[in-house]
Structure 1
Amino acid sequence: MDYISCAEAATKWSISERRVQKLCEGGRIPGAMKFSRIWLIPKGAEKPVDGRLKTEQRISD
């Protein structure tokens, strides 16, 4: 299995490297594992849905 670094995932997903690290720490990226001080992310991993954003609310008149 091929792996990419946090920096490569950050570029691929257009988010910060620190955000990728936090997603790994939180177990949000399946298959990600820590090797020494480096997170290894499976090459085909998808960007997790951002749980910090709320869904659009309906406006009723």
Structure 2
Amino acid sequence: MNYVTTIEMSEIWGISARRIALLCEQGRIAGVVKKGKTWLIPEDAEKPADKRKNDSIEL
């Protein structure tokens, strides 16, 4: 299995590396491994849904 860093994944997903690190800490990305201070994320990991957005609200 190939792994990428938070910086590499931020370019793929279009969000900041810090946000990805927070998602790793919260256990919201499957298969992550922490090696020293670096999070290693599987290349084929799916981007978790953003819980901060609520699309079901009708105005």
Structure 1: gaps of 5 or more residues: none
Over the residues paired in the alignment, what is the CA RMSD in angstroms? 0.9
Structure 1 segments, 4+ long, off by >3 Å, are none
Structure with greater Cα Rg: 1
Q: Distance in 2 between matches of 1:42 and 1:13?
A: 13
Q: Distance in 1 between matches of 2:58 and 2:39?
A: 40
Q: Give the superposition deviation at 1:20.
A: 0.4
Equivalent residue, structure 2, for 1:19: 19
**TM-score (structure 1 length as normaliser):** 0.90
Equivalent residue, structure 1, for 2:47: 47
Is 1:28 aligned with 2:28? yes
**TM-score (structure 2 length as normaliser):** 0.93
What secondary structure does 1:20 align onto? helix
Residue identity over aligned pairs, in percent, reads 44
Equivalent residue, structure 2, for 1:57: 57
Structure 2: gaps of 5 or more residues: none
